């Protein structure tokens, strides 16, 4: 039976229940020991870059556009400064499909590298919130003592200050998160205008703050276990050639503590007394549980690859420092594939990887081709909603049209629309579009007048030519409503 951080999970029980769930179904709180080592240092440096990027993202503009904007409510999407409109849905679909296949391919080769090194949940939890917790409450054992202590001044001060800082941080993160959705200008308006003018925005802010606070202060690893869809899909994406954080069981087993080894060495116990066969030899694992104590997911990586593992590398660092102390080579726990340990073979380009790569290439090629075919200006002409035809003198009829023009380029574009068919029809501007600002939408209205002899019953098709700087760039059609014959 393995004694871990406040809970006991037997060697054969780990697949039956979660380390974070008690026998009565309650929560086993994970008190992870403070990690440290070369991987943790590298992750800290990377997380500083990623946090700087996350916090500055809403304020970075490219050609006047934000770096990233996902405004679902107003259907505005900007990715790396390039605006995508609802009319570009097909591009977004191919872009998203390429991204998903890329994630599947990446995970098949490198396992959950993203979770440990770049996932916002891991970065905020392990590199921000958990560091603050260590700073205020101390390492795992001090945290456990504080938990058991009565509510004295020290406990109230430590818990109170921790949660106050956690909430302020969650509020800041929620504001930035909102800035990625509605843009920084709208966010500033919500912050600076009277609350009554932005009830919806403020409500969203409060809800997001509460969600982030709940996630980082209480839910923590439960988000990875139960909420994250990427975590849920690991079992279908990984195979024996995927690179994971792995315990080298060939080198580590048979595991035995230093005390038990000494007993055997000094003749105080036999191998059989420890449950081994008489010809057994000890492996490099000294059963010190350091790898378990640092694990923020509460698992024992020596049981093999587990769905809970987010590849945070804390156990690699912990075990490496143990190996150094006992004069053994580092890497008893390391990045490796099951096959590289079991069969000592390394294979990256498996048929599966090649299949995913092929699909990704097809999707990316389609995406690039569609992007290159994307027109600079996109026009929509629709008969004004709720209107019928108007009867004019001299056997003439008219319809009113609304025009929407999207300029997808980074330059202001001149704009002109002409009626090409039926020939002889007249286009009368009611405030038509003359030019369109870069990456923007312009709207206008115009009237089309046709003679009765140009009509083709109830519906007559109109063809328009769109011109910019004298160049014909687009042909659009619409319908003209006339009297029934």
Binding residues for ligand SF4 (CB under 6 A) = 245, 247, 252, 285-291, 294-295, 297, 299, 301-302, 309-315, 318-319, 322, 332-333
DSSP 239: -
Residue 91 or 333 with smaller CB distance to ligand SF4: 333
Residue 158 or 334 with smaller CB distance to ligand SF4: 334
| Residue 240 Cβ vs ligand SF4, minimum distance, rounded to whole Å | 18
Residue 315 or 363 with smaller CB distance to ligand SF4: 315
| Residue 347 Cβ vs ligand SF4, minimum distance, rounded to whole Å | 23
CB neighbourhood size of 419 (10 A): 20
| Residue 4 Cβ vs ligand SF4, minimum distance, rounded to whole Å | 11
CB neighbourhood size of 364 (10 A): 16
| Residue 295 Cβ vs ligand SF4, minimum distance, rounded to whole Å | 3
Q: Which single residue is written with the structure tokens 């988000």?
A: 223
Residue 37 or 201 with smaller CB distance to ligand SF4: 37
| Residue 298 Cβ vs ligand SF4, minimum distance, rounded to whole Å | 8
| Residue 346 Cβ vs ligand SF4, minimum distance, rounded to whole Å | 20
d(CA 112, CA 230): 9
Residue 254 or 451 with smaller CB distance to ligand SF4: 254
d(CA 104, CA 151): 48
Residue 181 or 224 with smaller CB distance to ligand SF4: 224
Structure tokens that stand for 218 in this block: 């209480």
Residue 257 or 357 with smaller CB distance to ligand SF4: 257
Rg (CA), the chain: 32
DSSP 27: B
| Residue 146 Cβ vs ligand SF4, minimum distance, rounded to whole Å | 23
DSSP 268: S
Residue 115 or 363 with smaller CB distance to ligand SF4: 115
d(CA 182, CA 301): 42
| Residue 265 Cβ vs ligand SF4, minimum distance, rounded to whole Å | 18
Q: Is the CB of residue 462 less than 8 Å from the CB of residue 425?
A: yes
Nearest to 329 by CA among 242, 262, 248, 245: 248
| Side-chain half-sphere exposure of 319, counting CA atoms within 13 A | 27
The residue ranges of DSSP E strands in 81-142, in sequence order, are 82-84
Q: Is the CB of residue 32 less than 8 Å from the CB of residue 130?
A: yes
Residue 146 or 288 with smaller CB distance to ligand SF4: 288
| Residue 39 Cβ vs ligand SF4, minimum distance, rounded to whole Å | 9
CA 294, 296, 297, 301 torsion-angle sign: negative
| Residue 315 Cβ vs ligand SF4, minimum distance, rounded to whole Å | 3
DSSP string, 10-72: -TTTTTTS-TTB-TTS-B----PPPP-SHHHHHHHHHHHHHHHHHHHGGG-EETTEESEEEET
**232-268 as b/e: b if 16+ CB within 10 A:** eebeebbebbbbbbbbbbeebbbbbeeebeebbeeee
d(CA 326, CA 257): 12
Residue 302 or 408 with smaller CB distance to ligand SF4: 302
């Amino acid at each position: 039976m393995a004694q871990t951080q406040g809970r006991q999970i037997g060697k054969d029980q780990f697949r039956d229940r979660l380390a974070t769930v008690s026998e009565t179904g309650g929560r086993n709180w994970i008190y992870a020991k403070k990690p440290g080592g070369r991987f943790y240092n590298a992750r800290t440096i990377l997380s500083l870059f990623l946090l700087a990027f996350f916090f500055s993202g809403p304020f970075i503009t490219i050609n006047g556009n934000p770096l990233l904007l996902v405004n679902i409510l107003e259907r505005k999407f900007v990715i790396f400064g390039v605006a995508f409109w609802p009319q570009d849905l097909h591009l977004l679909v191919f872009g998203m499909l390429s991204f998903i296949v890329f994630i599947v391919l990446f995970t098949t080769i490198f396992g959950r590298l993203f979770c440990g090194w770049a996932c916002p949940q891991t970065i905020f939890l392990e590199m921000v919130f958990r560091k603050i917790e260590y700073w205020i409450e101390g390492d795992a054992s001090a945290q456990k003592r504080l938990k058991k202590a009565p509510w004295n001044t020290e406990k109230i001060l430590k818990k109170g200050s921790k949660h106050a800082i956690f909430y302020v941080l969650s509020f800041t993160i929620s504001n930035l998160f909102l800035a990625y959705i509605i843009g920084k200008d709208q966010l500033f308006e919500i912050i600076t205008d009277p609350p009554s003018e932005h009830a919806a925005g403020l409500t969203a802010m409060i809800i997001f703050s509460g969600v982030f606070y709940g996630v980082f202060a209480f839910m923590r690893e439960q988000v990875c276990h139960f909420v994250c869809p990427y975590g849920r899909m690991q079992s279908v994406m990984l195979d024996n050639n995927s690179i994971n954080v792995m315990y080298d069981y060939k080198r580590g087993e048979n595991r035995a503590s230093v005390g038990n080894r000494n007993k055997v060495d000094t003749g105080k116990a036999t191998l059989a007394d420890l449950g081994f066969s008489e010809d057994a030899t000890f492996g490099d694992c000294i059963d010190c549980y350091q790898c378990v104590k640092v694990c923020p997911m509460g698992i024992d990586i020596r049981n093999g690859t587990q769905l809970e593992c987010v590849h945070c590398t804390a156990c690699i660092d912990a075990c490496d420092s143990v190996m150094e102390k006992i004069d053994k080579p580092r890497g008893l726990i390391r990045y490796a594939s099951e096959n590289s340990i079991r069969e000592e073979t390394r294979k990256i380009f498996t048929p599966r990887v090649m299949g995913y790569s092929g699909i990704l290439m097809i999707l990316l090629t389609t995406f690039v081709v569609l992007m290159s075919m994307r027109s600079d200006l996109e026009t929509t002409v629709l008969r004004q909603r709720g209107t019928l035809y108007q009867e004019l003198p001299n056997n003439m009829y008219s319809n009113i049209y609304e025009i929407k023009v999207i300029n997808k380029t980074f330059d202001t574009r001149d704009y002109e629309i002409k009626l090409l068919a039926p020939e002889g029809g007249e286009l009368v501007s009611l405030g038509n579009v003359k030019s369109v600002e870069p990456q923007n939408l312009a709207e206008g209205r115009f009237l089309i007048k046709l003679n009765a002899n140009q009509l083709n019953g109830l519906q007559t098709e109109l063809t328009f030519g769109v011109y910019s700087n004298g160049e014909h760039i687009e042909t659009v059609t619409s319908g003209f409503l006339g009297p029934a014959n």
